[in-house]
Structures are given as C-alpha cells and as structure tokens.
Amino acid sequence: MEYQFYQGNRGPVAELSMEQAAIGRWLSDEIGNDTDRISGLLHNIEQIQDGIFEALDINGKEFILSLNRDEVEIKANSIAENFDDDSQEQMTADGLNFYDSEDIAGCGLDDFKDLLIAWLEYCSG
C-alpha cells in the first residue's frame, strides 16, 4: 500500500492511490490528528487479531469502517444508505457501475494496521 502524508490547510492529509482514495479521505476527514482515536483503532485491530472479536463495524460522520480478520472496508454513508448488496448485484448484472473510488475502498487488515501506525507517528511528530 502506497501513501503520502502532508500538512494541508485543515490539518494532516493522507493521500493514497486512486483505488484507495476513500481510505485517505477517511483518515484525513474522520480521524484527522486524533491520536487517541488512532490508538483505539489499533487496539480494536489487536482484539480482532487475538480472536476477541470476529468483526467490527464503526460508524463515523461520513464513513463506515468494517474490520474483520482478513480485510478492511471503508464505505461512505451515502453508499451504504443508497445501495444495498441486492441493488449492487442488480447494477452489475445489468452491466452498470458507478465511480466510487472516493466513496468505497478496502485493503488487507495488516496493511491497514501499518497505515494507522504510520499515520499515528506522522500526527504525533
């Protein structure tokens, strides 16, 4: 997973690849430089890795973060409200799709954990 952090007008900004743009938006807008929240998320990941939780969904202002033992998905609330699995399957069956890289993205749990650790270090420095 490639990423770049820099200081923007409203605070720290995480920039990721186009396919993972939603993760960057989530980090920048939902989490920001809240080191306590970042530490809490890292603790949640450890709980999942230790088998305490099988999966965890965390609702934010603009995004829903879904964690399980293998992967992470970040989905904009607007996507979650307007499109359920059945409507997405129907769109795919009809040959339709929508540009959603800024609204939904995923990655492996270990990569996400490494990203959060790097973000914590960046925001703490």
Whole-angstrom Cα distance, residue 89 to residue 83? Answer: 10
Q: Provide the whole-model pTM.
A: 0.84
pLDDT at position 96: 45
Check: CB of residue 14 under 8 Å from CB of residue 24: yes
Whole-angstrom Cα distance, residue 99 to residue 91? Answer: 12
pLDDT at position 78: 83
Whole-angstrom Cα distance, residue 9 to residue 71? Answer: 31
pLDDT tens readout for residues 73-124:
999 988 755 555 555 555 455 554 544 567 899 999 999 999 999 999 999 9
Burial (CB count <10 Å: 0-12, 13-18, 19+), residue 103: buried
Q: How many CB atoms lie within 10 A of CB 64?
A: 18
